[in-house]
């Protein structure tokens, strides 16, 4: 049996398989095997890891029909395909299913060159994932990937209940216990029925690598208590969801009216990066002092390396006060913003002499919350 496919499409498909299986491949080489199914109109690749599985279809330029299923090392096949420098030259894959050998060869032909890779038969492979039998809904995949990319920085790798992206009918949410990052789930993932899901961190990384595309493009997805399945073009991806209770993050959101403070994003980021550079390993804090009469915010730090003080213009109509913040936390948040301004939101006590709750830094549907540092 044979199929002829484009080199670029074959390479891209193998990339997605390797992303899905790479972690398991280090300990069990053949877990990284790509399951290949020859069909009349397409070449189908299947890959899986402990939590994730993927199917990628590659259209064929020519095929002799029929159907067969076998496994081969996707890493070896990818390395081989990437050496083919004529990207428009088709690749011919020939599988000899009647060969009188225990390991049947997959012959890879490219121009005048020919290579053989040994394969595993179906009896040595795990079953192929079935992506059918579920009800699919519309999904703005580009918006979902954008939200995941923004909030993924804030997970806690050592606490199971915080090590993943929590999604409910209101927000995509992550927290490390010191910070909270949210992205509004406005018709992003529907049909959760008032419940929630949690995507494991390694699956978030894989999804961001596999799926590309702009906002507004509707794709299909299915979700239940154990898995999330996404279909885009010729890709089907499924991840097993985490079983962990995410903290009650809604209880820490600021309540009552807030006072905004607007400053230049570029100037603020540059100042914070200078403060981080001058901070010591044992002590790292930035003092933010707001002076509404002078319409300026002063950012200051003192360490054994030296002092940094910057003055930045601000738009703010609130009381004069100072607070300490972790500059590294601020840098991580502000680097993800795209607007010209950074908007701090403060909630004060009734006397307006001190902060009552956490500080919010937001931009559109993207919201971040962090506690000021205590004064020593």
Do 232 and 258 belong together in one domain? no
Say if residues 172 and 185 touch (Cβ distance below 8 Å): yes
Q: What is the model's pLDDT at position 201?
A: 94
- The residue segments making up the domain with residue 304 are 253-370
Give how many domains the chain has, as a whole number.
3
Do 236 and 262 belong together in one domain? no
Q: Is residue 375 situated within a structural domain? A: no
Do 159 and 237 belong together in one domain? yes
Say if residues 264 and 313 touch (Cβ distance below 8 Å): yes
Do 317 and 272 belong together in one domain? yes
The pLDDT tens digits of the residues spanning 60-78 come to: 888 886 778 888 888 888 8
For residue 295, which of 282, 312, 310, 280 has the smallest C-alpha distance?
312
User: What average pLDDT is seen over the chain?
Assistant: 84
Q: What is the model's pLDDT at position 376?
A: 53
Do 173 and 86 belong together in one domain? no
The pLDDT tens digits of the residues spanning 23-63 come to: 544 444 444 567 888 877 788 888 888 889 999 999 888 88
Packed helices 201-210 and 7-25: angle between N→C axes, nearest 10 degrees: 170
Q: What is the model's pLDDT at position 28?
A: 45
Q: What is the model's pLDDT at position 30?
A: 44
Do 177 and 275 belong together in one domain? no
Would the pLDDT of 187 be above 80? Answer: no
Q: What is the model's pLDDT at position 22?
A: 65
Q: Is residue 129 situated within a structural domain? A: no
The three-state secondary structure class of 320 is coil
The pLDDT tens digits of the residues spanning 80-131 come to: 888 887 777 899 988 877 766 667 888 999 888 899 988 888 777 777 788 8
Q: What is the model's pLDDT at position 231?
A: 92
Would the pLDDT of 191 be above 60? Answer: no
Question: Residue 287 corresponds to which tokens in the numbers above?
Answer: 């003092």
Q: Is residue 130 situated within a structural domain? A: no
Domain termination residue (choose one: 250, 266, 300): 250
Say if residues 181 and 153 touch (Cβ distance below 8 Å): yes
Do 149 and 43 belong together in one domain? no
Q: Is residue 132 situated within a structural domain? A: no
Q: Is residue 131 situated within a structural domain? A: no
Helix, strand, coil share of the chain (percent; to 5) = 25, 40, 35
Would the pLDDT of 354 be above 90? Answer: no
CA end-to-end distance (rounded Å), the chain:
74
| pLDDT above 90: percentage of residues in the chain | 36
Q: What is the mean pLDDT of residues 225-231?
A: 89
Domain termination residue (choose one: 66, 98, 124): 124
Q: What is the pTM of this model?
A: 0.86
Do 180 and 292 belong together in one domain? no
Q: Is residue 189 situated within a structural domain? A: yes
Do 340 and 262 belong together in one domain? yes
- CATH code where residue 328 lies: 3.10.150.10
Do 49 and 6 belong together in one domain? yes
Q: Is residue 284 situated within a structural domain? A: yes
The pLDDT tens digits of the residues spanning 268-316 come to: 999 999 888 887 665 578 888 889 888 899 988 877 777 888 899 999 9
For residue 357, which of 212, 230, 221, 259 has the smallest C-alpha distance?
259
Q: Is residue 376 situated within a structural domain? A: no
Phi, psi at residue 12, to the nearest 5°?
A: -65, -40
The three-state secondary structure class of 275 is helix
Question: Positive or negative, the Cα torsion across 302, 305, 306, 308?
Answer: negative
Domain termination residue (choose one: 250, 278, 302): 250
Position of tokens 């549907």?
365
């Amino acid at each position: 049996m044979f199929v002829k496919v484009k080199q670029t499409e074959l390479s891209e498909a193998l990339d997605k398989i390797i992303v899905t299986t790479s972690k398991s491949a280090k300990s069990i080489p053949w877990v990284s095997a790509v399951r290949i199914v020859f069909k009349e109109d397409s070449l189908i690749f299947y890959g899986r890891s402990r939590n994730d599985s993927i199917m990628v279809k590659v259209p064929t330029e020519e095929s002799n029909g029929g159907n067969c299923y076998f496994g081969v090392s996707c890493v070896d096949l990818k390395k081989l395909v990437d050496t083919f420098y004529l990207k428009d030259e088709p690749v011919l894959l020939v599988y000899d299913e009647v060969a009188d050998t225990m390991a049947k060869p997959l012959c890879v032909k490219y121009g005048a060159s020919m290579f053989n890779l040994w394969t595993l038969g179906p009896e040595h492979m795990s079953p192929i994932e079935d992506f059918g039998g579920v009800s699919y809904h519309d999904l703005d995949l580009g918006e979902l990937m954008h939200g995941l990319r923004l909030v993924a920085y804030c997970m806690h790798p050592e606490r199971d209940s915080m090590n993943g992206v929590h999604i409910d009918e209101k927000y995509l949410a992550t927290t490390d216990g010191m910070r909270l990052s949210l992205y509004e789930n406005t018709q992003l993932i529907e049909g959760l029925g008032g419940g929630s899901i949690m995507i494991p961190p390694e699956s978030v990384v894989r999804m961001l690598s596999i799926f590309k595309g702009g906002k507004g493009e509707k794709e299909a997805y299915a979700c239940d208590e154990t898995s999330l399945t996404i279909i885009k073009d010729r890709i089907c991806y499924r991840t097993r969801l985490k079983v962990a209770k995410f903290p009650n993050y809604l209880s820490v959101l600021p309540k009552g009216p807030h006072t905004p403070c607007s400053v230049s994003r570029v100037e603020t980021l540059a100042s914070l990066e200078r403060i981080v550079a001058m901070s010591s390993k044992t002590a790292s804090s930035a003092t933010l002092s707001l002076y509404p009469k002078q319409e300026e915010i002063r950012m200051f730090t003192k360490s054994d390396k030296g002092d940094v003080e910057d003055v930045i213009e601000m738009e703010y109509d609130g009381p004069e006060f100072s607070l300490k913040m972790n500059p590294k936390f601020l840098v991580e948040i502000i680097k993800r913003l795209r607007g010209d301004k950074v908007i701090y939101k403060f909630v004060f006590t009734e006397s307006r002499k001190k902060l009552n709750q956490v500080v919010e830094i937001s931009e559109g549907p993207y919201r971040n919350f962090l506690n000021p540092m205590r004064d020593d």
